[in-house]
Amino acid sequence: MTEPTPAVRDRALSLPAAALPAYLYDLAALREHAREVRAALPGSVELYYAAKANPDREILAALAPYVDGYEVSSGGELTHVHEAVPGHPLAFGGPGKTPAEIVTALELGVRRFHVESVHELRMLAALTARTVPDARVAVLPRFNLPVPDGSLENSSLTMGGRPTPFGLDPAQADETVRLLTGAAYPQLDLVGVHAHLASGLEAAQQLAVARSVVGWATGLADRHGLRLSEVNVGGGMTVDYAGPRRRFDWAAYGEGLGELAGAHPDLTLRIEPGRALTAYCGWYATEVLDVKHSHGEEFAVVRGGTHHLRTPATKGHDQPCSVLPVDDWPHPWPRPAARQGLITLTGQLCTPKDVLARRVPAAGLRAGDRVAFSLAGAYAWNISHHDFLMHPRPGFHYLDGP
Ligand SMILES: Cc1ncc(COP(=O)(O)O)c(C=O)c1O
């Protein structure tokens, strides 16, 4: 169980039932969290927000004072972020960029690319020459690097250190450097290396990965007699859905990054977290429609479900939540109520997979009570299969002060 902030609680209880479910974002809480994250990082370390975690305009704007830029991973994201927070630096990443997306990025002024393959590099060079013949474009090839033993263990999503479609194989590093430093692509500047290897890592694992990526990048530069100015060590700071009050240890991570930056004063280190910045500011608030007893267990069916909040289904966890009791019961018949201590919270979809949280300690939960699911500010609505079963969409509320 995790409690909503007062602003979220008030709104979750004051909305009419027909206005539920609703996503409620506490922007003041988001700002405070982002301020703390920024303060824990050394001043020289750049913080980009991975917009894929939650690209809502209000969220992007609330983060703007605390981040150095945004990482975007599609033409859609880059156009949207460019409009939502104009003037902020963008880094364009993502596998499988189309020529049209690259052209759009160049036309919108994006000048930093995380390049994922040699083919993409050649494509970027050709499109840059055609689209912005006088511009220079900073390139950080993304490498799928080997990592120190055990540092990706327990990661929730592994994108590197093993066979994946992400980034370049380290065996292609020398060819990539030669292409970028030869005469063929005069508009492309090899400024550094990008590596996002996994999500769901603790601070110690993140630091092991960061040291390893920086060590590999400086080794590459030394081998080729180059000077690299940037290393992006990615995002992936853990969010603990089973222990929602615990947060990633930004202080320890910041201290370790400070030491790493101190050992490489010519390098700008950059990180690009998504989930660990925005997960905590969002709640999915809903109403219990019915409570059922089935073969010895109890289920509460809520308005909405995993077609709005797919996070627990994709990650296989129980979404943390709080019950907000509602005493009013308008019907003349008995109010369905839980008789046991542990209740499974499900949605309205016709599939047994529509489970938001299993065996939640919510003794006495009744139809008409409200439930606020927390940690719903990242990879929640935007990764969900909204149209399945044609239920109405939730409301969206960005709470910002009284
Ligand atoms: C390239 C890249 N950078 C950053 C992120 C953000 O990861 P997280 O939200 O786990 O911090 C992702 C997530 O998939 C990614 O693919």
Q: How far is the CA of 347 from the centre of ligand 1 (A)?
A: 28
Q: Are residues 309 and 176 in the same domain?
A: no
Question: Is ligand 1 within 6 A of the CB of residue 371?
Answer: no
Q: Are residues 236 and 292 in the same domain?
A: no
9-40 pLDDT tens trace = 999 999 999 999 999 999 999 999 999 999 99
For position 402, what pLDDT does the model report?
65
For position 1, what pLDDT does the model report?
45
Q: Is position 214 within any domain?
A: yes
For position 70, which CATH number holds?
Answer: 3.20.20.10
Question: Is ligand 1 within 6 A of the CB of residue 77?
Answer: no
Looking at ligand 1, which residue's alpha carbon is closest to its atom 15? Answer: 196
Q: Are residues 285 and 247 in the same domain?
A: no
Q: Is position 35 within any domain?
A: no
Identify the domain boundary among 273, 292, 327: 273
Question: Is ligand 1 within 6 A of the CB of residue 230?
Answer: no
Task: In whole angstroms, give the CA distance from residue 194 to residue 143.
Answer: 6
Structure tokens belonging to residue 127: 């499109």
For position 161, what pLDDT does the model report?
79
Looking at ligand 1, which residue's alpha carbon is closest to its atom 4? Answer: 235
- Which residue among 71, 159, 196 has the greatest number of ligand 1 atoms within 8 angstroms of its CB, and so is best to mutate? 196
Collect contacts of 27-30 with beta carbons under 8 A, ≥24 apart.
27/58, 27/59, 27/62, 27/281, 27/398, 27/399, 27/400, 28/399, 28/400, 28/401, 29/5, 29/280, 29/281, 30/59, 30/62, 30/63, 30/277, 30/278, 30/280, 30/281, 30/377
For position 72, what pLDDT does the model report?
98
Question: Is ligand 1 within 6 A of the CB of residue 235?
Answer: yes
For position 198, what pLDDT does the model report?
87
Q: How far is the CA of 91 from the centre of ligand 1 (A)?
A: 13
Question: What is the set of active-site residues?
Answer: 350
Q: Are residues 80 and 158 in the same domain?
A: yes
Q: Are residues 245 and 293 in the same domain?
A: no
Question: Is ligand 1 within 6 A of the CB of residue 270?
Answer: no
Q: How far is the CA of 55 from the centre of ligand 1 (A)?
A: 13
Atom of ligand 1 nearest to the CA of 159: 16
Q: How far is the CA of 143 from the centre of ligand 1 (A)?
A: 14
Q: Which domain holds residue 169?
A: 55-273
Question: Is ligand 1 within 6 A of the CB of residue 128?
Answer: no
Question: Is ligand 1 within 6 A of the CB of residue 199?
Answer: yes
For position 155, what pLDDT does the model report?
74
Looking at ligand 1, which residue's alpha carbon is closest to its atom 1? Answer: 196
Q: How far is the CA of 319 from the centre of ligand 1 (A)?
A: 20
Identify the domain boundary among 218, 239, 273: 273
Identify the domain boundary among 273, 303, 322: 273
Three-state SS sequence of the chain: CCCCCHHHHHHHHHCCHHHCCEEEEEHHHHHHHHHHHHHHCCCCCEEEEEHHHCCCHHHHHHHHHHCCEEEECCHHHHHHHHHHCCCCCEEECCCCCCHHHHHHHHHCCCCEEEECCHHHHHHHHHHHHHHCCCCCEEEEEEECCCCCCCCCCCCCEECCCCCCCCCECHHHHHHHHHHHHCCCCCCEEECEEECCCEECECHHHHHHHHHHHHHHHHHHHHHHCCCCCEEECCCCECCCCCCCCCCCCHHHHHHHHHHHHHHCCCCEEEECCCHHHHHHHEEEEEEEEEEEEECCEEEEEECCCCCCCCHHHHHCCCCCEEEECCCCCCCCCCCCECCCCEEEEECCCCCCCCEEEEEEECCCCECCCEEEECCCCCCCHHHCCCCHHHCCCCEEEEECCC
Q: Is position 318 within any domain?
A: yes
Q: How far is the CA of 167 from the centre of ligand 1 (A)?
A: 13
Q: Is position 180 within any domain?
A: yes
Question: Is ligand 1 within 6 A of the CB of residue 275?
Answer: yes
Q: Is position 30 within any domain?
A: no
Q: How far is the CA of 332 from the centre of ligand 1 (A)?
A: 51
Contacts of 196 (CB under 8 A, 6+ apart): 93, 142, 159, 160, 166, 232, 234, 235, 236, 272
Q: Are residues 14 and 67 in the same domain?
A: no
110, 90 Cβ separation under 8 angstroms: yes
For position 157, what pLDDT does the model report?
77
Question: Is ligand 1 within 6 A of the CB of residue 155?
Answer: no
Q: Are residues 181 and 143 in the same domain?
A: yes
Low-confidence ranges of the chain (pLDDT < 70): 1-2, 149, 151, 402
**Is the bond preceding 21 in cis, omega lying within 30 degrees of 0?**
yes
Structure tokens belonging to residue 86: 């104009």
* Residue 165 CA: distances (Å) to CA of 14, 114, 142, 143: 47, 14, 11, 11
Q: Are residues 181 and 301 in the same domain?
A: no
- Which residue among 49, 73, 140, 271 has the greatest number of ligand 1 atoms within 8 angstroms of its CB, and so is best to mutate? 73
